[in-house]
Amino acid sequence: MNPIVSSTSAATSNALPSISSRDEQKIRAAKAAVESMTVRQDKASEERKAIARKKAEELKARIQMLKMSMPANPEAAGKIIAQLARELGAIVKSYGGTGSDLGVGTSAAATPAAGGEAASTGTASEGAEPSAEADTDANPDAASGATPKDPYRAAMAAQAAANADQARKADGAREDSEFATTVKQLLAELKAMKAKAEADAKAAGDPNTPEVADADKALEAVDTALGDAGLSGSMVSLVV
């Protein structure tokens, strides 16, 4: 072999950067931090949506009761409908993450978030160490958190993760669709109540009742909120 070519190849090889074990640990730590943040964000989103669904059910019960005792006075009816519509709009905005949190962050779920990391790095992790050590003999990659080196085991792990993610997305899409259906039903009932108040106002000789017009604007705002949250239309536009 040409000594010049040989020395050049050796120099090029020596010039290539190498990743030390410490660098690998930093990379794994950074990846774990990103995954942990994603999990926390997903949990916060799920909690926010759960609270919004509960609020929607509570509002549904109130509307059903009011339908049986709605005042005949158009002004009073208009005020009530406008208030209910504003509440419904706030619920939709919260569900879509564009409005107030309806209590998320001040609930019990926010408190563990502050101490949750301490628990995961303290007592919880201490309790998990024996099982991790026990798995080291069967799976040496488990201790380091690295991707399994065995291609078959790596493929099985990747498939299991993909299946779990697919199931989670399917559940989320179903819940979004059910929530959208509930909101649209409530919106339809409020619009029917507004139409009756409008008809009563015309019959009373006052077709331009400000309270009824205010209710109409509040109902239009709910339609807008549905669109902003991606929940309008005949089908929920979500990627599964």
**Cα three-residue angle 34-162-131, rounded to 5 degrees:** 65
Does residue 43 fall inside a structural domain? no
Does residue 224 fall inside a structural domain? yes
Least confident of 74-83, 97-106, 183-192, 218-227: 97-106
Structurally, the chain folds into a number of domains equal to: 1
Closest residue by Cα to residue 77 from 221, 191, 194, 213: 194
Does residue 200 fall inside a structural domain? yes
Query: Which whole number is the average pLDDT over 12-36?
Result: 71
Does residue 104 fall inside a structural domain? yes
Question: How far, in Å, CA of 34 to CA of 40, rounded?
Answer: 10
Containing structural domain, residue 81: 50-142+149-228
Does residue 125 fall inside a structural domain? yes
State the pLDDT at residue 75: 93
Does residue 119 fall inside a structural domain? yes
Query: Which whole number is the average pLDDT over 195-209?
Result: 88
Of 157 and 15, more confident: 157
Does residue 34 fall inside a structural domain? no
**Taking the CA atoms of the chain, what radius of gyration do you get in angstroms?**
29
Does residue 18 fall inside a structural domain? no
Query: Which whole number is the average pLDDT over 212-230?
Result: 93
Of 85 and 42, more confident: 85
